[in-house]
Structure 1
Amino acid sequence: MPSKKNNFEEQLADLEKIVNNLENGNVPLDEALEQFQAGVKISRDLEKKLTAAEETVAKLIDKDGSEHELDPQNAAAPEE
């Protein structure tokens, strides 16, 4: 079973292994349920990390240190 990892790429690799195991169908039901639950937990953790990264990227910091939200409709940086 995958260990607790904080690295996004390692967690994604663990999730991919779980998906492959479940897709192959060679896993006993009890183990499949455990892997599925672990996969859901990893998926939620990855989603939180992606959301946090998106929020970080969406903020632009001016020279004076003030933050501005990036308008997704207009991805250009604000005029300085």
Structure 2
Amino acid sequence: MATKKFKTKMNRLETIVDAMETGDLELEKALKYFEEGMALVDDCHHELDQAEAKVMKLIESDDGQAVFVPFEGEEADDDASI
């Protein structure tokens, strides 16, 4: 499971949540889904932490000091095209 891409993990997590929200699962199946879901959450959290560290490294100033700049996501890109 470690080789799956982040988006694939998130899609699987959504599938698990949808299945568990129905309430139609047997207890054993629900527990297996819960365990898988928690492992996926941990994996995704770890990947996000790594991505954050890369972003912070990229915005390090010339003198080696970290410069805290708000991360601008897709919304900022949309504003720039207006």
TM normalised by structure 1 equals: 0.73
Structure 1 stretches of at least 4 aligned residues deviating more than 2 Å after TM superposition: 60-63, 66-70
Name stretches of at least 5 consecutive residues in structure 1 with no aligned partner: none
User: 2:41 matched to which residue of 1?
Assistant: 43
Give the structure with the higher percent strand: 1
Superposed CA deviations along residues 14-67 of structure 1, whole A, max 9, x for unmatched, are 00000000001111000000000000000000000001001101123567xx75
| Paired positions, count | 68
- Distance of 2:7 and 2:49 partners within structure 1: 15
- Distance of 1:67 and 1:8 partners within structure 2: 30
Q: Is the 8 A contact 2:6 2:44 kept in 1?
A: yes
TM normalised by structure 2 equals: 0.72
Identity of aligned residues (%): 26
User: 2:66 matched to which residue of 1?
Assistant: 69
User: 1:11 matched to which residue of 2?
Assistant: 9
